[in-house]
Amino acid sequence: VSYLFYSIIILFLSFSHFKNHILSYLLCLEATVLFIFALITIFASSSIHVSLVLLSIGACEAAMGLSSLICSVRISGSDNLFV
């Protein structure tokens, strides 16, 4: 449980560091999801279903993030958040 807390802290710190581009946000979010997936896989190895659900949620999150990035680039011409 404390590792999940640390990953959330790292997520918020990385979000505060990369605050100009959508792609930076998406990369930080993907790294956090991958870190949580690795922790759950290592420490809860008895339940493979939980790790598969988390991996599929991460894949859906990546697809939605990339589609929102494409829509933002088509509308504004760049991936800046505050244009």
27/75 Cα distance (integer angstroms): 21
82: in domain: no
Does 83 reside within a domain?
no
| Span 23-33, pLDDT tens digits | 877 887 788 78
In sequence order, the 6+-apart residues with CB closer than 8 A to the CB of 40 are 50, 51, 54
Where in the sequence is the domain holding 18, given as residue range(s)? Answer: 2-76
Task: Output 83 or 36, whichever has higher pLDDT.
Answer: 36
Number of structural domains the chain divides into: 1
* Residue 59 located in a structural domain: yes
Residue 81 backbone dihedrals phi, psi, to 5 degrees: -80, -45
28-69 pLDDT, tens digit per residue, is 778 878 877 787 777 776 677 877 888 888 888 889 988 988
Any domain includes 25: yes
Q: Is residue 60 part of a domain?
A: yes
